[in-house]
Amino acid sequence: MQADTDSSAEQRGAMDDSAAAATGTAGADAARARASADPSAHTAQGTAEARAASLRRAKRQALACLLVAAAVFVIASLAPRSFATDALRALAEAALVGGLADWFAVSALFRRIPLPLLGRHTAIVPRNKDRIADNLARFVDEKFLDPAALVALIRRHQPADRLADWLSLPANAQRLADAALRVFGGLLDAVDDARIQALIRDAVHAAIRQVDLAGSTASILRGLTRDGRHQALLDQMLRQFARVLGRPDARAFIASMIVQWLRREHPLKEKVLPTEWLGEHGAALIANAVNGVLAQVAEDDTHALRRRFDVVVVRLIKRLRTDPSAAAQAERIKQYLIDDATLNAYVGDVWRRLRTWLADDLARPESALRARAVAASSWLGDALRNDPALRASLTEQLERAVQHIAPEFAAFLTRHISDTVRGWDSMEIARQVELNIGRDLQYIRINGTLVGACIGLLLFALSSLPALLTHGAG
C-alpha cells in the first residue's frame, strides 16, 4: 500500500515537472517570437532561455534521484528478505519520503496541488501576488529610497570629490563633452522644426504685445530731454539734412520740382522763361538758404528753432502718455509688426539657420561646440578640484535635492512597482520567480532525497542495533 502511494505521488511529481517543462518551453517559444520582432531584446531573451534550460536540467536531476529511490525501494521490497535488502528498503523508503516532501514543498510555492486539506495551502506565490507587490514596494522604499539613507550614501561617496578627480583627466573631460553633444545632437534631430518655428514666432508676438510702445517711447524721449540729449539728436539731424542738400542728386531733385511747378502753375511764363536755368539756380538758392538757417541753428543754442523743438518734444511726450489716439496708433503699429509676413518669415528662418549651423558644427571634426564643451568640462573639474568650498556646496545642494525629491520619487516608484506587479498575471509572476530561483529549489529536492536516504539508513541501523548486539552476544 505504501509503495502504491509513493508511486502515485512520484507520478504526480513527474507529471508536474513535465507540465512545468512544457510551460517553460511554450514561454520560451513566445519569448523567441518577441525577440525576433524586437532585436533589442536579444540579450534578455538569451538570459531567459538559459535560465529555463538550467531549470529543466535541475528538475530532471531531482526527478532522476526520486526515480532511483523508487526503483531501489521496489527492488528491495521484491527481493528475498535479508539484512542488506531491509537496509536498502529503509534507505529507499526514507529517500522517497524526503524527496516527495520536498517536491511538495517546492511545487506548492508556484502551483496548486489538488490534495485534500493541503491543497488550499499551495500556489503560494500566485495567491499572494498582491501581498508580494506591496511588500516588494515597501522593501524598496524603506531600504533604498529613504532620504536619510540616500543622504548617508552621498556623504559616504562624496560625489563632488569623485567628479573633480574624474574630470581632472583630459580624456574624461572629452568623454563627458562627447556624451553631452551626443544627447544634444539627438534632441536636435528629434525636434519638430515647424513647432520650434511656431514657438519662436509666438514668443516674439507675445513680447511685442507686452511692450507698451507709446509709454516706452515717451520714457525714452523723457530720458533724452532730461540731459538735453534731444538737442544733440537735433544737431545730428541738421548735419545729416545739410549733407543731403549738398548732394548733386538732391539739388537736381529740387530743380526738377521747381520746373514742374512753373509748368503747372505758370504755363505761359514757362514758354518764354528759361525754366531749366531757373530750376537750377532756384535749387541752389533754396539749398544755400536752408544751409544758412541750419548753420545758424547749429551755432546758436538759444535759436528759436531749438526752443520750438523743445516744445514739440514735450508735447509729444505728453501726448504719448495721455492721448488715447496715440496709444491706439501704437497698438496698430504693434499689430502691423505681428501681421507682417516679412518679419514672421525672418523670425521663422532664425531657427532654420541656427539648426543648420549647429548640425554642421557638430558634424565637423574641429567642432566649436565640442571645443567649448571640453573646455567647460575641464574648467568644472579644475574648479571643483581647487575649491573645497565649491565641492562642499555641491554636496550640500545634492543632499537638499535628495531630501526634497526623495519622498515624492519614492512614493511614485513604490506605487509604480506595486501597480505593475499587481497587474501581472499570477501564473506569469510564479513562472518568473521559478525561473530565477527554481534551480536552487530543485537542488533542495535532491538534497532532501539524499538526506532522507541517510536518515533512513541511520534509523534502520539504530533500530537493528539491539538485534545485532543480541546476535553477537549469543
- 70 pLDDT above the threshold of 90: yes
List, for residues 381-408, the tens digit of each pLDDT value.
Answer: 899 989 999 999 999 999 999 888 888 8
Please answer whether residues 445 and 62 qualify as being in contact, where contact means their C-beta atoms are separated by less than 8 angstroms: yes
The DSSP code for 302 is T
Cα–Cα distance measured from residue 291 to residue 250, given in angstroms and rounded to the nearest whole number: 13
- pLDDT bucket at 19, cuts 50 / 70 / 90: very low
pLDDT band at 37, cuts 50/70/90? very low
CA–CA separation, 329 vs 335, rounded Å?
A: 10
Q: Measure the CA–CA gap between 250 and 288, rounded to whole angstroms.
A: 13
Residues 6 or more apart from 56 whose CB is under 8 A from it? 21, 24
pLDDT above 70 (res 40) = no
Q: What's the CA gap between 331 and 235, in Å, rounded?
A: 31
Q: How confident is the model at residue 73 (pLDDT cuts 50, 70, 90)?
A: very high
* Coil, helix or strand at residue 459: helix
pLDDT of 62: 92
Alpha-carbon gap, residue 125 to 381, rounded angstroms: 51
Q: Tell me the per-residue pLDDT of 349-376, one tens digit each, with 9 for 90 and over.
A: 888 888 889 989 988 888 899 899 999 9
Question: What region does 425 belong to: left with phi over 0, alpha with psi -120 to 50, or beta?
Answer: beta
Any idea which residue has 542488506 for its cell? 84
Band (pLDDT 50/70/90 cuts) for residue 124 is confident
Structural contact between residues 375 and 181, judged by C-beta atoms closer than 8 angstroms: no
Is the C-alpha dihedral spanning 122, 126, 127, 128 positive or negative? positive
**Residue 323: phi, psi to the nearest 5?**
-85, 120
C-beta atoms surrounding 181 within 10 Å: 18
Q: How far apart are CA 343 and CA 85, in angstroms?
A: 105
Which of the pair, 91 or 348, is modelled with greater confidence? 91
- Own/partner pairs, 71-77, CB within 8 angstroms, 24+ separation: 73/3, 73/6, 74/3, 77/3
User: Are the CB atoms for 94 and 462 separated by under 8 Å?
Assistant: no
Nearest to 113 by CA among 26, 2, 8, 24: 8
Q: Is the separation of the CB atoms in 173 and 381 below 8 Å?
A: yes
pLDDT at 379: 92
In 3D space, the residue among 431, 430, 447, 436 whose CA is nearest the CA of residue 61 turns out to be 447
